[in-house]
Amino acid sequence: MNYWLMKSEPDEASILDLQRAGTLPWTGVRNYQARNFMRDVMRLGDGVLFYHSSCPEPGVAGLAEVCSAAYPDATQFDPASPYFDAKSPREVPRWLHVDVRWRETTRLLSLKEMREAPELASMQVLQRGNRLSITPVSPQEWQAVLKRLHTA
């Protein structure tokens, strides 16, 4: 069982969108490291911190879980999609994604509060220069985030 933090722009897919939909395909990842996490390390039932990014109040907005294995991302073959990749061969699709299931919509644990929390200082998403949209979360960090989400 692993834990992850996954970034989503709420304009595209917010925690409320996920709550309404139940499950959503995590399409649009175009970074090899993030793809490899989904393909090689993620397992069914892995815990996900759903993080709102590129928005007025960035931070963790809810909890989700991985609910599929990685499979080819259809948007890479759609010329009308912003995620279209002309160089991805159909026989060997370059981009994959998992599906994610809603678990809980929480209070917003803001990026500011995360930065001020000593017990979260090790989180990869807080490290200088981090841009990865999917980052591993340790069991200790997961527990610490849950504790904060469920208090104050």
Partner DNA sequence: GCCAACGTTGGC
Contacting residues toward DNA, per CB under 7 A: 7, 30-33, 53-55, 58, 87, 111-112, 115, 128-133
Report the helix count and the strand count for the chain, using DSSP H and E.
4, 8
Shortest separation between residue 41's beta carbon and DNA, angstroms: 17
Is the CB of 1 or the CB of 90 nearer to DNA? 90
Cβ proximity to DNA: between 36 and 44 the closer is 36
Q: How many CA atoms lie within 13 A of 92 on its CB side?
A: 1
Nearer to DNA, 44 or 92 (CB): 92
Residue 124 CB, nearest approach to DNA (Å): 11
Tell me whether residue 41 or residue 55 sits nearer to DNA (CB atom).
Answer: 55
* Closest among 34, 39, 41, 48 to 3, alpha carbons compared: 48
To the nearest whole angstrom, how small is the minimum distance from the Cβ of residue 23 to DNA? 22
Return d(Cα 85, Cα 77) in angstroms, integer: 7
CA 106 to chain centre: 15
The nearest distance, CB 51 to DNA, in angstroms, is: 7
Q: N- to C-terminal Cα distance for the chain?
A: 28
